[in-house]
Every structure is written in structure tokens, then in C-alpha cells.
């Protein structure tokens, strides 16, 4: 098997704060293989984005500290790379799209200017050739009047249009890894579907790997080959999408699936997970989900580790160990 395009080992990230350090990421192991679409799922505050942003070095310097772990992209340890090398990587072999297409583009520069900037930075295309490439990218994203769009400003375009432009920009230099951080959350449902399909088709067509971050299980299930479920800065379950979603082995994953509105009876209250994500200034010693888990018992006071619960399927829960033991 080829080198993973992204490999994260034992990542720990903390944010220094007045009340004490916030332990946002607490030992995450994660990998993305070539051509694979990997989902990272969890509720708000589970550190999905922080994990991805740390990997690409996009967190504001000074605001956080990576206290442990290694990150390698395309086989290279990020810690050994200079700022210049990272800049070459970002926008080139590694691209990222974000949650808010409304604000992710510079409001005072035309779309063309912003697209050409990336193309010229990471390829040999210049002038008209770069412009042609930009038009081609937009056309790939089903933007018909691409020439005209290049002269427009972001505020003149809809959210769906902007996100398609951002996806087009992300694919500008044929990235090997695309990190998509909730790319459709801010869009309405019909546009969401269209954007997802475009993203999916483009990824498959170019062979790019995708790390897809979302709190939307329905989207994840349609889109991803393999998923990681995160809770309170840890991976609690991972495996092929059908297995994890069809046969969840961690009570948190199960609760998330139960909370999907699709299966609810009309008129009946929607299922939810009681309580909130634990305070990560003083993370719980045992299983972080213990306080909200209906299966919690004495063993949960010590922390479970990820163990195999099936082929390529892992979960971190004492319940499974006891059953298998």
C-alpha cells in the first residue's frame, strides 16, 4: 500500500486560556489513504476542525500549542517543514475548503483575481493560460457564465455559487488531499446536495483523497468510504462507513444515529443526547462520554482505548470489551 496522504499520530492540542488550558485534542490517530474519502464526524466542540486545521498549520499562531503527536502529509513530517515549504504545500498538493462561503473570499477582490492568485502561485500557468484554467475549473463546477463570473465580486454571488468557486479553487492545482470542513453546512438543502455531488465527482475524477468534516451523519454516510467518530477530542469509533453507521459499536455513535430526524415518527419529539460535551479544561479521567451514556458503569471510570470490534472497525468502549471477553 502506498504512503497515506495524511497520517496523524497521537495528536494533542491545547489552547491556553484564563481558566486553564483547554485540552481540545487528546490523542487522535487518523490516516487518509490515497483516493480515499474519509469522514470526520462529531458534534460541535469535538475538535474535528481543530484536528484538521492543526494538520495544515492553519490555526492562528500563539493561540494554541501542539503538545504531542506527529503529523505527516504525503509522507513528510510537518514538524520538519519550513514555513515556505508549508506554503508550497497549501493550495498545491493540499487544499482546503471551509464552512462559510459567505466570508471565505476576500470581499474587495474579484473572483478572477483570487483564482488566478492560487493558479499562478502553484503552477507555471500565467496570464491567459491561467485565466483559461480558471474558466475550466469554474465550468467543471457547472458555472456556465464562467468568463463573466471572473469579473464579479463575492458579494454579487450566492452562497452556493461561492462555495462552488471555492471548490474549484481548491482543485486548481490537482491536490492530492482535500480537507473539506463542513463545506455544505451554511448552504440550504437543495444547494447542499448539488455542491456535494460536484465535490464527490471531482474528487473521484482527479483521484484526490478527501478528509470530510461534518456533523451531519446523513451527508457522511452518502459521501464517505470510511469514517472517524470524534468525541471530546478523541476518536471513539472508526471504520468503514457502512459498518460504523449500520452497526455502531460505541454508544455515542449509536446515540448520534438515533438522533437523526429521518427515523422519527411524525409528531413525536426528536431523540437527543442528554447533557453537553464535557468541559475540556479539566477533561474527565475516564471515558469522556460516561456522563451522558446510558450504559455507563464502574469500568467507565478508567479510559477505554480503541480496540478492534470487527474487520477494520474499532471502538473505544468497555461495553464491547466485556461482551467480547
Partner 1 sequence: MSFLNVIRRRLMFLILVLFGVTVITFTISNLIPGDPARMIAGDRATPEIVQNIREDLGLDKPLPVQYLRYLEGVVQGDFGNSIRTRRPVLEDLRIFFPATLELALTALFFATALGIPLGVASAVWKDKPIDHFVRVIAVTGISTPAFWLGLLVILLFYGNLGWLPSGGRIDPSLEMPTRVTGFLMIDSLLAGDFQAFGSALKHILLPAFTLGFVHLGVVARQVRAAMLEELQQDYIRTAKANGLSRFKVVFTEALPNAMIPSITVLGLALGDLLYGAVLTETVFAWPGMGAYVVNSIQALDFPAVMGFTVVVSLAYVLINLAVDLIYMAVDPRIREVS
Binding site for partner 1 (CB under 8 A): 56, 58, 60, 62, 83-84, 87-92, 95-96, 98, 100, 103-108, 117-118, 121-122, 153, 155-156, 166, 169
Min. distance of Cβ 109 from partner 1 in angstroms?
8
d(CA 129, CA 213): 33
Min. distance of Cβ 4 from partner 1 in angstroms?
20
d(CA 178, CA 170): 7
> Strand, coil or helix: what is 240?
strand
CB contact at 8 A, 230 and 46: yes
Min. distance of Cβ 15 from partner 1 in angstroms?
15
- Name which of 84 and 294 has its Cβ closer to partner 1: 84
- Name which of 206 and 222 has its Cβ closer to partner 1: 206
- Name which of 60 and 269 has its Cβ closer to partner 1: 60
- Pair type for strands 76-77 and 65-73: antiparallel
Q: How many helices (H) and strands (E) does the chain have?
A: 11, 12
Min. distance of Cβ 38 from partner 1 in angstroms?
18
Kindly give the interhelix angle for 111-122 and 159-170, rounded to the nearest 10 degrees.
10
Per the rule left: phi > 0, alpha: psi between -120 and 50, beta: everything else, 196 is alpha
- Name which of 30 and 172 has its Cβ closer to partner 1: 172
- Name which of 143 and 166 has its Cβ closer to partner 1: 166
Min. distance of Cβ 128 from partner 1 in angstroms?
21
Contacts of 246 (CB under 8 A, 6+ apart): none
Amino acid at each position: 500500500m502506498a504512503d497515506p496522504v495524511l497520517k496523524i499520530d497521537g495528536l494533542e492540542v491545547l489552547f491556553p486560556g484564563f481558566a486553564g488550558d483547554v485540552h481540545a485534542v487528546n490523542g487522535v490517530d487518523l490516516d487518509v489513504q490515497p483516493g480515499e474519502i474519509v469522514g470526520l464526524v462529531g458534534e460541535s466542540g469535538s475538535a474535528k476542525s481543530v484536528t484538521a486545521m492543526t494538520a495544515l498549520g492553519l490555526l492562528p499562531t500563539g493561540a494554541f500549542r501542539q503538545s504531542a503527536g506527529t503529523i505527516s502529509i504525503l509522507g513528510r513530517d510537518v514538524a520538519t517543514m519550513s514555513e515556505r515549504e508549508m506554503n508550497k504545500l497549501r493550495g498545491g498538493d493540499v487544499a482546503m475548503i471551509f464552512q462559510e462561503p459567505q466570508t471565505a473570499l476576500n470581499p474587495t477582490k474579484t473572483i478572477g483575481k483570487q483564482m488566478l492568485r492560487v493558479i499562478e502561485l502553484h503552477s507555471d500557468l500565467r496570464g491567459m493560460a491561467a485565466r483559461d484554467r480558471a474558466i475550466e475549473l469554474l465550468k467543471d463546477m457547472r458555472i456556465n457564465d464562467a468568463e463573466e463570473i471572473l469579473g464579479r465580486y463575492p458579494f454579487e454571488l450566492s452562497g452556493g455559487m461561492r462555495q462552488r468557486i471555492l471548490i474549484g479553487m481548491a482543485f486548481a492545482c490537482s491536490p492530492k488531499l482535500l480537507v473539506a470542513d463542513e463545506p455544505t453546512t451554511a448552504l440550504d438543502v437543495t444547494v447542499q446536495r448539488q455542491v456535494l455531488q460536484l465535490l464527490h465527482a471531482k474528487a473521484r475524477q482527479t483521484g484526490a483523497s478527501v478528509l470530510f468534516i461534518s456533523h451531519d451523519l446523513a451527508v457522511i454516510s452518502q459521501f464517505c468510504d470510511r469514517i472517524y467518530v470524534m468525541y471530546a477530542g478523541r476518536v471513539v469509533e472508526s471504520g468503514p462507513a457502512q459498518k460504523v453507521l449500520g452497526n455502531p459499536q460505541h454508544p455515542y455513535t449509536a446515540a448520534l444515529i438515533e438522533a437523526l430526524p429521518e427515523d422519527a415518527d411524525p409528531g413525536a419529539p426528536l431523540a437527543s443526547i442528554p447533557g453537553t460535551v464535557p468541559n475540556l479544561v479539566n477533561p474527565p479521567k475516564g471515558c469522556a462520554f460516561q456522563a451522558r451514556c446510558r450504559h455507563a458503569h464502574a469500568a467507565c471510570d478508567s479510559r477505554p482505548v480503541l480496540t478492534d470490534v470487527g474487520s477494520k472497525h474499532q471502538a473505544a468502549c468497555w461495553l464491547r470489551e466485556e461482551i467480547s471477553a
